Amino acid sequence: MCGRFVSASTADELADYFGALAPDDGLDENHPGENYNVAPTAEIFTVRATDGQRQLSTMRWGLVPFWAKDLKIGSRMINARAETVAEKPAFRKAYERRRCLIPADGFYEWAKVEGHKTKQPYYIYRPDGEPLVFAGLWERWRPKNEDGTYDEESVIETCAIITCTPNAEMSTVHDRMPLLLPPSAWDDWLSPGSDLGLVASLMEPAPDGFLELRPVSTSVNNVRNNGPHLVEPDPAPLTAPARSGESDSAGE
């Protein structure tokens, strides 16, 4: 699964990296800010296609289907499984027409350790320093007025990260990983007109050797902790991880 990640790049850096436009009103006021412990329901950066142009925007992490009664369901819809995303009612329509990219500097995963109740957290990143690009889905949700009509002035955009089977590195700590997309796949993933067979073919684990895992302090366990110290190496990690067999988060 992917339940926490790092978003430390600025809006300008991301717009340049993706060749994307910022909204007409800019991102400064709604900038999520440098966040080394991004948790579900946080505002995060996303990239989507608008009239054929990549557009940088912010969305709430945790997809809320258009038919949901309230926003609460979003906290359980942070991930969508690649194997079933085309079938699940909560994700099916978004998968067909509303796909996005979610940039991250890295993400965290927790591994069981023999002889310890506490799990060892790992920071997972690209050794070349480039951003990670998660495959995502997005939706628009509108609350209802007392008369049952939709409140068109209170639209909330939400998103979810797609997960897939792990590559060699990730399999040492978990049985899932975020679906990572290379630049060559971005346009096909973002285009609402892409053939779904082509889209499905993009959902493969990252190549072995693409990621590096670093044991970090259990300080990251508390979402109130933040800052670059969270990704620093743990000087005394518990031990090497045992393969985790945990299932993904609810909603997948």
Tell me which residues are annotated as active site.
2, 109
Q: What would the DSSP string read from start to end of 177-238?
A: EE-B--HHHHHHHH-TTS-HHHHHHT--PPPTTS-EEEEB-GGGGSTT--SGGGGSBPSS--
Cα dihedral value 82, 84, 87, 91, nearest 10: -50
Supply 53's token pair.
Answer: 């142009």
Give the torsion sign (CA, 4, 81, 101, 63): negative
- Report the Cα–Cα distance between both ends of the chain, in Å, rounded: 9
d(CA 33, CA 28) in angstroms, rounded, equals: 9
Q: What are phi and psi of 179, to 5 degrees?
A: -75, 120
